[in-house]
Amino acid sequence: MGKTARHLRPLAALLGAALALSTTACGGATDASTAAAAVDISGSISGQTINYWSMWKDGEPQQKVIAAAIADFEKETGANVSVQWQGRSNTEKLVPALNTNNVPDLVDGTFAKLAPVIGETGQASPLTSVYSYEVDGKAVSSVIPEKFTSNGVFKGEAGQPWMVPYSISSDGIWFDAAKHPELKAKPPATWDEFIEVLDKLKASGTAPIAADGDVAGYNSTWFVTALLRLKGAGSFKELVEDKSGKGWDDPAVLEAARKVETLVKGGYLNRGYNASKFPAQQQLWANGDASLILNGSWTPTETGSYAAPGFEYSSFQFPAIDDKPASARVDFIGFAVPAKSQNQASAQRLAAFMLSAKYQNALGTEAKVLPVRSDAPVDPAVASVKAAIDAAPATHLQNDGVTFPGFMEKVFFPKDDELFLGKTSADDFIAKMKDAQIQYWKDNG
């Protein structure tokens, strides 16, 4: 034993040193970042280098448009852009980088991914100067539709915007207009008309609605949108924020759950939707084995390769309930600049540059996505969605912008899945959600 102890002594000393090292290493992480002020970005940026971590991978249609814009930007300003085409995991890589001084100068991503990691943690620079910067002779703030920004989604802690969107996505109930011209001519505007359409489709023998029931985010769109139709944009977030959980007693909330229950109980969903693996059901739909699918504006590009010959993409909005003004879902893809970036002016200039008409048009016609500028043309496949967004009086985010830690994944999605997959009734869903939400806020309040 004595011998073992002698052997261990030097090891113990090493371990002690390691412990001391680890505690000092972690001490730095507690420092709060300093809030940056808006910077003047109008001066010359020639010779500066911007480090940009992109959410696109080499070869994607959006990547090609952005790469072309960067080439022009370098020529015009004399700045250098060093791009890493990282793909969608760029936000995951951003989190650890933000704890160091080695941050990218510019990142892009969806609002839903950027907001939790950089927007709401106070790690982003205010981009007020980008919004007032002029592209094509017009301020950036005037080319982004006002209804996208008026509800203050991009406002950070100090009330200044931290994100500049260059593209958007939305959703709709998609169908093949070649097969169903009647839906294109007169889409169901109200819930009752929608159920009529479903009944007709069911009687004709095809499955009315296809749904990939294993994607919780798709399933939740039904309940959340129904609730927003009944109570307006922002009402789901309001319901979830309520620590007492009393909001769930509101009859309108039950009504929204009942609408989902109607779809499930009415047999309108394609058989097997509750036991399949994405993308089986959207493939079925694209092959014409089901008529409708509630899905994002990316549906034409995502299903284009396997759609039935002659498939003509068109969509209508989730129907209105009780003739309330219906908001359209608009999710944003755009730039943010980390507060620790040393190249604020040049990074922000590049963010503004993407809002030029040339690249906005290219996003619409070449990448076939929805540009953020409403004056940019889009591909015919998503024209129906663009028309709906242009006509909508207000907009809402996916899941109404709820990002409380773990709430969607651990509290809402499992219960909403039960409702949508037919394992629980609307009343039970409401009761379970109320309890779970009270517990959530007890633990996380």
Task: Compose the 209-248 pattern: x for residues touching other proteins by CB under 8 A, - for all others.
Answer: ---x-xxxx-------------------------------
User: How many degrees, rounded to 5, is the angle at CA 273 between CA 268 and CA 275?
Assistant: 145
Question: Smallest gap, in angstroms, from Cβ of residue 334 to other proteins?
Answer: 16
278 φ/ψ angles, rounded to the nearest 5 degrees: -50, 135
Nearer CB in complex with other proteins: 68/216: 216
Question: Smallest gap, in angstroms, from Cβ of residue 404 to other proteins?
Answer: 6
Beta strand pairing call for 138-139 and 134-135: antiparallel
The single residue among 6, 152, 185, 205 that binds other proteins, judged by CB under 8 A, is 6
The single residue among 41, 108, 113, 221 that binds other proteins, judged by CB under 8 A, is 113
The residues in 390-429 that bind other proteins, with binding defined as CB under 8 A, are 399, 402-410, 413-414, 417, 421
Beta strand pairing call for 171-176 and 290-296: antiparallel
Q: Which stretch binds other proteins (CB under 8 A): 16-24, 127-135, 255-263, 389-397?
A: 16-24
The single residue among 5, 40, 96, 185 that binds other proteins, judged by CB under 8 A, is 96
Question: Smallest gap, in angstroms, from Cβ of residue 156 to other proteins?
Answer: 12
Q: Are the beta carbons of 164 and 130 closer than 8 angstroms?
A: yes
Task: Using the structure block, give the residue that is written with the tokens 């996208």.
Answer: 148
User: Is residue 279 near other proteins by the rule CB under 8 A?
Assistant: yes
Tell me how far apart the alpha carbons of residues 388 and 305 are, in angstroms, rounded to a whole number. 25
SS3 of residue 182 by DSSP: helix
User: Is residue 121 near other proteins by the rule CB under 8 A?
Assistant: yes
The residues in 145-174 that bind other proteins, with binding defined as CB under 8 A, are none
User: Is residue 305 near other proteins by the rule CB under 8 A?
Assistant: no
Tokens describing residue 411: 């509290």
CB neighbour list of residue 443: distance below 8 Å, 6 or more residues apart:
none
User: Is residue 308 near other proteins by the rule CB under 8 A?
Assistant: no
The single residue among 92, 199, 249, 375 that binds other proteins, judged by CB under 8 A, is 92
Tell me how far apart the alpha carbons of residues 387 and 381 are, in angstroms, rounded to a whole number. 12
Cis peptide before 165 (omega within 30 of 0): no
User: Is residue 11 near other proteins by the rule CB under 8 A?
Assistant: yes
SS3 of residue 158 by DSSP: coil
User: Is residue 280 near other proteins by the rule CB under 8 A?
Assistant: yes
* CA distances (Å), origin 438, targets 163, 244, 411: 32, 6, 11
> Which is nearest to 218 in space by CA: 292, 273, 296, 300?
296
Contact residues for other proteins, defined by CB under 8 A: 1-4, 6-7, 10-11, 14-15, 18-19, 21-23, 25-26, 29-30, 32-33, 91-92, 95-96, 98-99, 112-113, 116-118, 120-123, 212, 214-217, 271-272, 274-280, 284, 399, 402-410, 413-414, 417, 421, 443-444
